[in-house]
Amino acid sequence: MSAKDLFHEAVKQALQKDQWVITHDPLTFKFGNINFRADLGAERLIAAERTGEKIAVEIKSFLNPSAITDFYSALGQFLSYRLALESVEPDRSLYLAVPKDVYQTFFQYEFTQTAIQKYQVLIIVYDSAKEVIVEWRK
């Protein structure tokens, strides 16, 4: 199994442990003439309201030697997916899933923090070894 697949399975398991139901693997959607494919779609029912919270998750591993290059790619993909989702599924929030070690280092840099705040990127911090969600950043 490739490293990317391991991260995918780790996040999937972590979401399920956090009471999310995986509804799509992958989540595909279309905006105009363009097809999109986010890694996961999930929903968590809120019993008191009888409504569900829907999310889409794009999982990133940041395995390349250059974290900034991976960040450029992840941010561009995130913004494109969010734009499309806002039109076709406005009730679904998009999250970028990043490994704990990358979040605790690269994502603490001033530039990264500024970009995350400016573009309002929702983040799931995951521990791939333990298959758990460490933090939700909204």
Residue 90's alpha-carbon distances to 61, 63, 93, 107, 129, in angstroms, are 27, 31, 8, 27, 33
**pLDDT for residue 4:** 63
**pLDDT for residue 45:** 76
CATH of 3-137, one of 3.40.1350.10, 3.30.450.270, 3.30.565.10, 3.40.640.10: 3.40.1350.10
Degrees (nearest 5) of the Cα angle 117, 3, 104? Answer: 35
Handedness of CA 124, 130, 132, 134 (dihedral sign): negative
Per-residue pLDDT of the chain (138 residues; tens, 9 = 90+): 455 667 999 999 999 999 999 999 999 999 999 999 999 999 997 665 556 789 999 999 999 999 999 999 999 999 999 999 999 999 999 999 999 999 999 999 999 999 999 999 999 999 999 999 999 999
**pLDDT for residue 5:** 63
pTM: 0.93
| Interacting residues of 118 by C-beta distance below 8 A, sequence separation 6+ | none
